[in-house]
Structure 1
Amino acid sequence: MTNSAIQTIMNHRSIRKFKDQPLTEAQIKTIVDAAQMASTSSYVMGYTIIGVTDEKIKEQLTAISGQPYVQNNGHLFVFCGDLHRVEQLGTTEQQAAMEESLASSEQFIVMTVDATLAAQNAAIAAEDLGLGICFLGSLRNDIHRVSELLQLPERVVPLFGLAVGYPNHEPEQKPRLPFEVVYHENKYQPFEQQLPFIKQFDAQLQKYYEKRKQNRRTDNWSNQIIRKFSNPIRMDVTPFLHHKNLNKK
């Protein structure tokens, strides 16, 4: 018997070109309902999902991200880590008692993990409906401005976007790191044991880049990652989190 959930997951690829066809209200509801069924730490459900339908806001988010599919999609979801709701449940005295916990790195991790688990459920649900998706970390290019545009209160952070829609292209599936690199049994395996598999993967990925239909280039994973981490980006995120009274302790 074919497991449709596993098949959906294994067929994943990022879609960056969508047809000019909006999602229905029923599709949006199904995707959000699926997101809410994700696991959550201590039942906090520390996230809020904002659906962006205002074209003026989408235009400004597109300018921030530099990616046209932030605007040209069937629906744009923005996943936010949210501890504002938790704080507002309490009286003034209770809020004071919660302050140290709310500002801690632990609770920042909790809300980020909660939001990410929910988003992955949403992505799988969308793909199971025959739609395509693309995650959008590029919204953090100007995290302050995104927060202003979405009118996010204290302790709410825009983590990433999720563009969803009807695919208008069929990109090749990009390879992933070998099993032996990402799965370690009982203890972390020395890098020297991972390296032969990484070299094999570099060769595989170089062939992929050279043969794919669009944006062909000569490159591999190791060089790509070294370049990425040699060029620090979004260094304003940490002070932004502190401004939101998050991740401070």
Structure 2
Amino acid sequence: MNQVIEGLLSHRSIRKFTDEKLTQEQIYTIVKSAQQASSSSNVMAYSIIGITDQKLKNELYKVSGQKHVKNNAHMFVFCGDLHRINQLASSEEKASIKENMESTEQFIVATIDAALAAQNASVAAESMGLGICYIGSLRNDINRVNELLGLPEHVIPLFGLITGYPDHKPDIKPRLPLEAIYHENKYKSYDEQYPLIEAYDNEMKSYYEHRSSNTKVDTWSDQMIRKYSKPTRMDVTPFVKSKKLNKR
């Protein structure tokens, strides 16, 4: 097993960081690594906003409610971005690209491009001995984040990625069995998946009961039912459409 795979298999989200800051070289290396991710037709339909202003971090913390959003060495916000492409077009061309620009397909392209870039950034950061944590909770108030970052039409904040030197070493959270995720040639029936999920629930119950901090009694299945029983971030849909994305 090589070092890259070892690093991937030992990933854990870090939520406590030392006070040590990242150098400009480290930041640029992470961004350059992100840029080398695969991109649909080389559209590169994303932008990365580095958050260095502590006051801005504090405001983003108010949205997310997660302390590590304000206490970290560096924060990146990954945005789906078709604004650049739209700006390339003349006023006449804008009319001709409008339907395609506002389609679900191009929204998916922007989302995937940003996610691929972010994962490259994460692997690069962890290879430097840094810890990372994705921050989807920026979408708790997506309109406020949009306002704070001054995002134009065709640009939406998707998630944050915080980095820094770890100040704790949490346990590695188990994942679903490979056989539940990997389907060969056709999708497995739920009856085939159920025993795997049941085994995973037992593993997760043991993990939560015995991990080094924040112990509790819970299972993955129970978590998922609770999560999807309560509608959340329902303002994201009208927000995305207001930015002239995913309208068609």
On whether the aligned pair clears a TM of 0.5, the verdict is: yes
Q: Structure 1: how far apart are the matches of 2:213 and 2:157? A: 31
Partner of 1:214: 213
Segments of 5+ residues of structure 1 without an aligned counterpart are none
Q: Structure 2: how far apart are the matches of 1:204 and 1:183? A: 19
Q: Structure 2: how far apart are the matches of 1:90 and 1:248? A: 20
- Residues 1-249 of structure 1: pairs in structure 2 closer than 5 A: 2-249=1-248
Q: Structure 2: how far apart are the matches of 1:18 and 1:91? A: 47
Residues 120-148 of structure 1 show CA distances to partners (whole Å, capped at 9, x for unaligned) of 00000000000000000000000000000
Cα distance, 1:55 vs structure 2: 1.2
TM-score normalised over the length of structure 2: 0.99
Residues 92-134 of structure 1 show CA distances to partners (whole Å, capped at 9, x for unaligned) of 0111111000100000000000000000000000000000000
Aligned length: 248
Task: Give 1:7's aligned amino acid.
Answer: E
Residues 51-74 of structure 1 show CA distances to partners (whole Å, capped at 9, x for unaligned) of 011111111000100001001001
Residues 187-234 of structure 1 show CA distances to partners (whole Å, capped at 9, x for unaligned) of 111001000010000000000000011110000100000000001100
Q: Structure 2: how far apart are the matches of 1:214 and 1:104? A: 45
Q: Structure 2: how far apart are the matches of 1:137 and 1:40? A: 22
Identity %: 58
Residues 14-39 of structure 1 show CA distances to partners (whole Å, capped at 9, x for unaligned) of 00001111110000011000000000
Task: Give 2:120's aligned amino acid.
Answer: N
Task: Give 2:110's aligned amino acid.
Answer: M
Cα distance, 1:237 vs structure 2: 0.2
Q: Structure 2: how far apart are the matches of 1:236 and 1:200? A: 36
Task: Give 2:235's aligned amino acid.
Answer: D
Q: Structure 1: how far apart are the matches of 2:95 and 2:19? A: 49
Task: Give 1:20's aligned amino acid.
Answer: D
Q: Structure 2: how far apart are the matches of 1:129 and 1:95? A: 43
Q: Secondary structure at the match of 2:175?
A: coil
Segments of 5+ residues of structure 2 without an aligned counterpart are none
Cα distance, 1:240 vs structure 2: 0.1
Residues 164-190 of structure 1 show CA distances to partners (whole Å, capped at 9, x for unaligned) of 000000000000000110000101110
Q: Structure 2: how far apart are the matches of 1:202 and 1:188? A: 21
Q: Secondary structure at the match of 2:80?
A: strand
Q: Structure 2: how far apart are the matches of 1:20 and 1:26? A: 18
Q: Structure 2: how far apart are the matches of 1:147 and 1:22? A: 26
Q: Structure 2: how far apart are the matches of 1:188 and 1:20? A: 47
Task: Give 1:171's aligned amino acid.
Answer: P
Q: Structure 1: how far apart are the matches of 2:178 and 2:72? A: 33
Q: Structure 1: how far apart are the matches of 2:69 and 2:198? A: 34
Q: Structure 1: how far apart are the matches of 2:58 and 2:71? A: 10
TM-score normalised over the length of structure 1: 0.99
